């Protein structure tokens, strides 16, 4: 059975333009990567946990901000690894200056025997839909498209 993740794609309007919030993964592997490296705030959950509850938890862990207000489902997408992501959308005025991510530990440099701590997310940014499509992991572009389709129908 594939691993499952859940996350939240926050959006807001600025001067009539739809913007989405993406996060950049922390740690040395991602430090020099940009296009295709960004993601919605998300994380894994176990069988028996509701995806929406997991999405709220993971957003808080990765950003330090609790999402309030209603969320709408954006469906699922499968990563190349086989992991299945369930996403939700919500409108919010998230202040990226207040981001506070949890930390993870890994051996760095590899083979050194030294453990170092890195933030799970090293930064967050609001992007136009066009910018976001260039920045986000390719498998997650579907969430941006679905959000845009729903906003265009309103």
Model-wide pTM > 0.85: yes
pLDDT of 93: 85
Task: For 82-134, write each residue's pLDDT tens digit.
Answer: 999 999 999 998 788 888 999 999 999 999 999 999 999 999 999 999 999 99
pLDDT of 20: 97
Q: Which domain holds residue 29?
A: 4-152
Please say if the pLDDT value at position 154 is more than 80: no
Categorise residue 27: left if φ over 0, alpha if ψ from -120 to 50, beta otherwise: left
Instruction: Give me the chain's average pLDDT, please.
Output: 94
pLDDT of 97: 87
Q: What's the whole-number mean pLDDT along residues 77-84?
A: 92
Return the CATH number at 35. 3.90.79.10
Categorise residue 56: left if φ over 0, alpha if ψ from -120 to 50, beta otherwise: alpha
Cα separation, 104 vs 4, whole angstroms: 19
Number of domains the chain is built from: 1
């Amino acid at each position: 059975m594939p691993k499952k993740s859940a996350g939240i794609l926050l959006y807001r309007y600025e001067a009539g333009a739809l913007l989405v919030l993406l996060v950049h993964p922390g740690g040395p592997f991602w430090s020099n990567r940009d296009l295709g490296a960004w993601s919605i705030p998300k994380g894994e959950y176990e069988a028996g946990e509701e995806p929406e509850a997991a999405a709220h938890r993971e957003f808080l862990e990765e950003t330090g901000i609790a999402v309030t207000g209603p969320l709408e489902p954006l469906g699922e997408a499968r990563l190349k690894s086989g992991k299945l992501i369930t996403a939700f959308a919500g409108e919010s005025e998230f202040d990226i200056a207040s981001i506070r991510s949890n930390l993870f530990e890994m051996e760095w440099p590899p083979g050194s025997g030294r453990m170092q701590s890195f933030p799970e997310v090293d930064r967050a940014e609001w992007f136009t839909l066009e910018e976001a499509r260039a920045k986000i992991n390719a498998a997650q572009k579907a969430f941006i498209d679905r959000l845009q389709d729903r906003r265009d129908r309103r």
